[in-house]
Structure formats: structure tokens, C-alpha cells
Structure 1
Amino acid sequence: MTIGHWHSRADRALRAATTATRQQPPGSAADINAVVNARSAVYAQLIRATELLAGGRPAVERLDRAGATALMARRGQRLTQFYAGLRAAALVDRRFPPSGSWVSAEPARSLRRAADAVGVIGDILACHVPPGQRPPTPEGFAIRRGGGVPAGLADIARLTSSLVVLDMALPGWLDHGQGHLTEIYRPVAEAARWTANSDLGRTARDLIVAGKGQSSLHGLDIARSPLDPAPDVRTVDDAVAAVAAARSWLWQYPEQLTGVHLQLGTQLGLAAHVAVSDEVPAKVGGWRRAAIAAAELRATPPVGLARDAAGELTEALRWMRSHLADGSDGKARDLGRLNSELPFLAATLHRGLSAAVRRGDLFVKAEGALTRPAGSLVFRAVERWRPARSHDDVVQDLGRGLLERRDLDNVGELGKAAARAFPRPPRPRSPMAQAPPNPPTAEVAPGRACGRSR
């Protein structure tokens, strides 16, 4: 499920927790412990998500609440102030023992759901932008260049604003404790009062305003690995999943890309572009040029997961062609979601093309030769192939077609899903410029994966 799904779940859970603190007094010390620990867990996950979006710690120095108050009073440095405020809000001067799963306090259950949801958001981000590593996916590549980051920080800021509202109600909820409990939980009440009276809420609102109208990360998810056999594609959601699985794996392992991937990918790009474009096929530029050039290449057959990635593209292309044959103009809006995959598909194919040319695994037609079989008076033309080079016309045409990616001009109107509306990756100095080195495998949260090799 996507970041947008988990963000909605976290927001609903935080609102439910706030309502419960105003309506249900704590029943026992175990209930209070559960709420306190769950509150700290939500702040910890918000801090983690902020670090992943920012590419590190915006404020290296560890500040106490007084230092955070002074920092947030300055002008500018919104992200640094926001991060310092989050860390200060999470500070509680006393540790409280964890409570068992039997705790029934509604604020605790809702806060735990919120912490889990924000944690999944962090897992998805970590799959694309692992700390201290090169991004292993095109989405991560774009995020590291600022794509979707303002909107992503705005989403974190919205959740923080909801948590600040809960902190406003928390001291009153804790005051319902009887006798010595009020004194025991005084550090928690002080932390909540500081948060409620600090500039953290204002800083969060500034980030929300800065993220308006920016490309959203709500559609970002962890792409599955290519499967064998490729799942049947019956809907546009299936097609998007198939393309995402194939191009995410090929981005991580560009040395596995073959001519089959180039042919399938460019044909799929052309078909999807035509389906949502008002232009006639003869005028579709980049994808048409790339598809024609790719059809003239040959390569060794793919194996392992590279073969599975080709199967995913094959199934998506089959569905796309059957959709075009139906002539269903009313479905063009739905196809926009598939069309929004094309910028990253093109970038992935271009990256793999560079690697395949360097590897000498692509072949182009060489000049034919005339041979005369023994005992024959007739000369026959023999077709010959040689390894492709970066300066060959067909390779140049394919590279230029993939770089053109005219669909990028309209990608902002195709919806705000899955970090697809990003700035294009930096254009190389030549169509076949060197691609960046292969990224290492991402650090992945337990039970999740960005890709695998066979």
C-alpha cells in the first residue's frame, strides 16, 4: 500500500487519540504508560521520516528544549527548526516501562496505530532512499534531487500538527490520575506543555504552505520483484505494478538489461503515450523514435530475474495493445496512471542502454557480404552483426528518443501518484554519456524488499 494510504491511517489514528483523551480518563498506570510510550514512538517515527526525506539530520547538534526554543525563534531554516522541534518534543526526562498488549486505553491503541502507520511510511522511503547509500530506484534518484520532498515534508508536518493538538489535551488527561500518579507523570506533562506552547505548530504550518501545489509522494510504494510467471494484467493497476516491478529491478541491475527489454519498454511507452495523447501516432516523437531504433538491435536472451522482468513488460504490453484495440476513449483518464510511469521507464532504459553498450551485449547490422556457395554460380548476401558502439546511428537514435520523453511535459497533470511528477534526471552531456555506477542493494526494513537478484 502507498504512502498516501498510510498517511491517511496515521492522521485518522491521531485524531481518534485526541478525541479519546478528551472523553476517556486514564484507568490505570498501565494505560498511562501505554499512551506515553506510544506518543514517543510516533515522534520517533516522524523524526525518522524527516531524516529520510532530508537526506540526513537537518540539525546535527542535539538540542534540549531551551535550545530548540531559541532556534525556532529565528527566521528562516524552516526544516532545521522543524526537526529540532520534533526532537525536543520527543524528550521526556523519565523512562516508563512498556505495557502489555492487554492495555485497553483507547488513546494508547490509536497512538500505536499511528506509530505503526508512520513507521511504514519510513520503511517505504528507506527502500528508495536508504541512509548513507546511493538510491536504488528511480524514485529515490529523484527524491535525492528534491522531487516530491516539499510535499513529503508537508505530509509529515500535517501529522505533527495533529500530534501537537493531542499534546494540548494530554496534560489535562494526565491530571485525571489519582494521587501519586500525577507526580510520576509530571515529566510527560511538561514535555506536552512545551510542545503545545512552542513554535513547532507554526513551523509545521510553514512547511505545509511550502508543500502546496508540489509533486506528491502519496503514490509511492515498495515495488515488488519481477515474478515468474508474470501475473496476468487485467486492469491499469496490474499494468502499473508490472511496469514498476520491471523497471525498479532493471534500475538496480542495469547490467542485466538486454535488447528484449529495450524493445518491450519502448513499444509499451509508445502504446501508452498514444493512448492518452491527442496526437496521431505518426507525430509521437521520442517514444516512436526509440521504438523504431530498438527494433533494429539484437542481444543475448535475458536469464533469471532479467527474463522475469521481460515477462512483466510483455504482459503489460499485451494488455495495453488489447486496450488500444478496444478503442475505449473513456478510459484514457485511467491510463494516465500508466503513462505517468513512462518518465522513469525511459530513464531506466537509457541507463541500461549505456551499460549494455559498454558491455558489448547489443548488436547492430554490419555491412553485408556477398558469398558464393561451393558449386553455385549465384552470389548470395549474408547478413552480419557486430557489437553496437555508442556512436552508431541506431544507438544514438535510441538514446535521443529515450531522453526526449515528451510525456514529461504533461506529467504534472497526470495525477500526484507515486512520486512520478519529478524533475527529469540531469541530462548527460551526450546522449550516450556514462551512467552512474550501480547502486548497492538498499537497506530494507524487515519483511520488505525493493528487489532481489537470482
Structure 2
Amino acid sequence: MTVGQWYNEAYQALRTASVAMGQSRAMAAADINGAVIARSAIYTQLARAAALLVGGRPAAEVPDRARATAILARRGQSLTQLYVGLQAAAVVDRSYPPSPAVVVAGPARSLRRAADAIGVIGDILASHVPPGQTPRTPEGLAIRAGGGVQSGVADIARLTSAAIMIDIALPGWLDQRRGHLTEIYRPAAEAARWTASSRLSAVTRELIALGRGQPQLHGLDIARSPLNPAPAVRTVDDAVAAVSAARTWMWQNAGELTSTHLQLGTQLGLAVHILSSTGYPEMIGGWRQAAIAAADLRATPLVGPARDTAAELTEVLRWLRSLGTSDRGEPADRHIPQIARLNAELPFMAATLHKGLSAALQRRDLFVKDEGVLQRPAGSLVFRATKRWRPAVRGDDVVQDLSRALLQRQDAADDHGKASLSARAFPNPPRARTSKSEPFWFPVEPSSRRDAHRFR
């Protein structure tokens, strides 16, 4: 499941809990404990997701509610205010024992669902942009360059706004009118009242407004490694997962790419465009040029994860070819909606293959045909031409053709507006930022093509 699917899961769970709190009162202590603990977990997970998006904690320490109130009263620091508000909202001045899942019902169960869903969103982000480390994937580089960050923070703000609605209802839901229970849960009610009456709601509205119309991260999924044996591809979801896993491994291990990966990757791009881009023959021609050039290269045999990666791509190609042959007589655009998500992977695939091509040339692990040599076998009167291979260099025509075609394909999906949600989040391959002192604010998207994001 993608970030967008988990976001919808969390939002619906928060809405369900809010409605349930307005229609009933808390009964069992297990339900109350579960709701209070899940409420704090929601704010904690939202703060974690925000920090992952912007590359670090916008505030150096977790303030108490008094200092958080002062920070929320400032102007022009919306992201810091959101983070501080989330951290302060998570604090309850009393610990409550956890409750088993089989006991918890009603609002508490919905709040647990929301906390788990937001936690998975953070896990997906962490698989691409691990805290304190360089990005692990092309998507991670794009996020660090600003792609999808504003809309991602806006989504966090929307979930925060839904969580504040829980806090508005929570004191009334906790009001047992039973003396000692009211006192036991007073810290939780006070925490909820602080959040509901703070400027956190105003901050969320500002951030939601900033995120409107910005590229989204809803298509982002977990970054997994290639599997052995390669899973069978039966649906477009399987295909996207396999391509993403292969592409991620190739990006992280560019020094291990071989001609097989270049051939499979370019064939994949060609197959996807044949199925989905019948209206743009120049795009098909670009991938065809790359596939023809890659076919003329050779390298050492595949071993280990490199072989697993190739197997994943091979399985996706098998599935794509089955789409093109099993429905003869059907309309040409029948598979366009199904293939659109794979189309979104292609700009990053092209950038990854280009990076691998450069690495393979540097280690002299790609070979091209050399001029043939005539040799006469012993005892024969006939000379035979013998194939000879030599290490490829950047000046070879086939290498230049492949490099040029891959660079052009990086921007093709965006140029024709055929990208899906995940590609629109990263319309152009980005440059990684190098400044260690860069502040944790919204990155400013460049407006000129000269400064547009591009992979190194």
C-alpha cells in the first residue's frame, strides 16, 4: 500500500473516532487507556513523519506546553510551529497502562488504527530518506530536493486537524461523573484542552493552503530489495513493486550494474511506451534507440543480488508482453490506465540506468565489438572472421547513443503529461543538495529549466 492509501486509512479512522466520541461516553477503563495512549501515539507519529520529510527536527528539543504556546504565537515559522505543537500535544502528565487489542473497542480501536497507519507512512518515508543518512533511493533524493515536501506536510497538517477534532471531543467523552475516574484522567483531558485551544489549528490551515496544487507523495511505496526467487507478476501492483525494487537496488549499487540490466531496463521502457503511449511515437522511438544501443553491449555474468534484480525485471517484461499478445483485436488504448503507474517509474529508471552506465564504464566492465580479425584454422584453406570484444569507452558510438537516449527519457513523461501521482511528485530528476547548514524549511522549487532537478 502507498502513502496515499495509508493517509486515507488514517483520516477515515480519525473521523470515525471523532463521530463515535460525540455519540457515546467512555465506559471501560481499558477503552479509556487505549484511547489516551493511541492519541499520544498519533501526535508522535505525525511529528516523526514531518521530521522525515524535511530532513531533521525543526526544533532542537521537545518543549513543554508553556514554551510551545509561546512558539505557536509567533509568525512565519509554520513548520517549526507544527512540529513543536505535535510534540507538545503528545505529552500527557501521567502514564496509563496499555490495553490488549481484544478488549479495546469503539473510539479507542479507531484511534489505534489511525496511529498504526500514520506509523506506516513514516516507515515508508524512512525507507527512502533514513534519518541521519543520505537518501537510499531516487525518490529519496527527490524528496531531499523538495519534491512533494509541501504537499506531504499539508497531508500531515490535515491529519493533525482531524486529531484536534478528537481533542475537542475527548474531555466530554472522558467525563464519567464518577469522582476518582475524573481525577485519574484529568491529565489526558488537560492535554486535549490545550491542543484544542492552541494556535495549532491555525498553523495547520496555513500549511494546508501552502500545499494546494503541489506535487503529491501519495504514490510513494516502501522501498524493498529484489527477492529470490522473483515473485510472479500478475497485476500492475506487482509490476510496480518489482520495478521499484529493481530500480532501488540498481541506484544503490550502480557499480554492480551490467549490460543485462541496461538491456532489461531499456526494453522495459520500450514495452511500457508501446502499450501506453501510442499517441507519442517520438517517446517510443527514444526508448527504442536506448534498447538498440544497450543490445550491442556485453558484460560479465550476473551473480547474487544483481541476478535477482534482473530476474525481477524479466518477470515484469514477461507480464507486459502477455498484455500485448493476449487481447488481440481489443482497442489499442485498452491498457493505458493500467500501465500509467509503470509509466511513472520510467524517468527514474532512465536516470538509474544512466548512473549505472557511467559506473560500468569507469570500471571497464562493458564491452563492445571490435574490428573482426580473419583467422585460418589449422589445415583449412578458408579464412574465417573472428569476433573480438574490447572494453567500451565513452567515445564509442553505441555508448553515446545509449547515454543520450537515457538522458532524454528522464524528462519525457513530464513533457507529455502522462505521469501518474508518483511521477508528478518528482517531475524532473533532482540534484542532491550538498549544504550541511541548510535550514529545515520548505525547499524552494526552481522556476527555470537550467536549475531544474536532475540526477547526477
Q: Partner residue of 2:389?
A: 385
Q: Distance in 2 between matches of 1:30 and 1:276?
A: 53
SS at match of 1:299: coil
SS at match of 2:226: coil
How far residue 81 of structure 1 moved from its aligned partner, in angstroms, is 1.3
How far residue 259 of structure 1 moved from its aligned partner, in angstroms, is 0.4
SS at match of 2:367: strand
SS at match of 1:93: coil
More deviation, 123-132/399-408: 399-408
1:315 aligns with 2:311: no
Q: Distance in 2 between matches of 1:287 and 1:185?
A: 63
Q: Distance in 1 between matches of 2:130 and 2:424?
A: 16
Q: Distance in 2 between matches of 1:24 and 1:411?
A: 53
SS at match of 1:329: coil
Tell whether the 8 Å contact from 2:52 to 2:125 is kept in structure 1 after alignment: yes
Q: Partner residue of 2:446?
A: none
Q: Partner residue of 1:128?
A: 128
SS at match of 1:364: strand
What amino acid sits opposite 2:339 in the alignment? L
What amino acid sits opposite 2:408 in the alignment? E
The aligned runs of 1:290-329 (5 Å cut-off) are: 290-325=290-325, 326=328, 328-329=332-333
The C-alpha deviation readout for 1:80-111, integer Å capped at 9, x for no partner, is 11111111211222222333445334121111
Q: Distance in 1 between matches of 2:396 and 2:240?
A: 33
SS at match of 1:300: coil
For structure 2, the residue ranges without an aligned partner over 5 or more in a row are 433-454
1:216 aligns with 2:203: no
Change (3 A) 1:206 1:95: same
Q: Distance in 2 between matches of 1:157 and 1:168?
A: 16
Change (3 A) 1:201 1:261: same
Q: Distance in 1 between matches of 2:191 and 2:155?
A: 23
**Percent of pairs with identical residues:** 64
SS at match of 2:368: strand
What amino acid sits opposite 1:416 in the alignment? L
What amino acid sits opposite 1:304 in the alignment? G
More deviation, 115-124/394-403: 394-403
Q: TM-score, with normalisation over the residues of structure 1?
A: 0.87
Tell whether the 8 Å contact from 1:34 to 1:103 is kept in structure 2 after alignment: no
Q: Partner residue of 1:349?
A: 353
Q: Distance in 1 between matches of 2:416 and 2:215?
A: 10
Change (3 A) 1:320 1:231: same
More deviation, 222-231/45-54: 222-231
Tell whether the 8 Å contact from 1:274 to 1:280 is kept in structure 2 after alignment: no
How far residue 124 of structure 1 moved from its aligned partner, in angstroms, is 1.2
SS at match of 1:292: helix
Q: Distance in 2 between matches of 1:53 and 1:426?
A: 17
What amino acid sits opposite 2:120 in the alignment? V
Change (3 A) 1:413 1:200: farther
How far residue 177 of structure 1 moved from its aligned partner, in angstroms, is 4.2
Change (3 A) 1:392 1:423: same
Q: Distance in 1 between matches of 2:171 and 2:228?
A: 55
Instruction: Please give the root-mean-square deviation of Cα atoms over the aligned residues, in Å.
Output: 2.4
Q: Partner residue of 1:409?
A: 414
Q: Partner residue of 2:403?
A: 399
What amino acid sits opposite 1:217 in the alignment? L
Q: Distance in 2 between matches of 1:144 and 1:222?
A: 17
Q: Distance in 1 between matches of 2:423 and 2:185?
A: 42
Change (3 A) 1:102 1:282: closer
How far residue 253 of structure 1 moved from its aligned partner, in angstroms, is 1.9
Q: Distance in 1 between matches of 2:370 and 2:110?
A: 68
Change (3 A) 1:393 1:43: same
For structure 1, the residue ranges without an aligned partner over 5 or more in a row are 428-434, 437-454
Q: Partner residue of 1:443?
A: none
Tell whether the 8 Å contact from 1:363 to 1:388 is kept in structure 2 after alignment: yes
Q: Partner residue of 1:235?
A: 235
SS at match of 1:340: helix
1:425 aligns with 2:430: yes
What amino acid sits opposite 2:303 in the alignment? V
| Count of matched residue pairs | 429
Q: Partner residue of 2:335?
A: 331
Q: Distance in 2 between matches of 1:264 and 1:101?
A: 47
More deviation, 343-352/239-248: 239-248
How far residue 420 of structure 1 moved from its aligned partner, in angstroms, is 5.6
Change (3 A) 1:163 1:229: same
Q: Partner residue of 1:451?
A: none
The aligned runs of 1:118-197 (5 Å cut-off) are: 118-197=118-197
Q: Distance in 2 between matches of 1:377 and 1:318?
A: 46
Q: Distance in 2 between matches of 1:129 and 1:230?
A: 25
The C-alpha deviation readout for 1:106-130, integer Å capped at 9, x for no partner, is 1211111111111111111111111
Tell whether the 8 Å contact from 1:26 to 1:176 is kept in structure 2 after alignment: yes
Q: Distance in 2 between matches of 1:102 and 1:281?
A: 58
SS at match of 1:75: coil
Tell whether the 8 Å contact from 2:246 to 2:310 is kept in structure 1 after alignment: yes
The aligned runs of 1:76-95 (5 Å cut-off) are: 76-95=76-95
What amino acid sits opposite 2:297 in the alignment? L
Tell whether the 8 Å contact from 1:16 to 1:110 is kept in structure 2 after alignment: yes
Q: Distance in 2 between matches of 1:282 and 1:169?
A: 58
How far residue 413 of structure 1 moved from its aligned partner, in angstroms, is 4.4
Q: Distance in 2 between matches of 1:14 and 1:128?
A: 26
Tell whether the 8 Å contact from 2:413 to 2:419 is kept in structure 1 after alignment: no
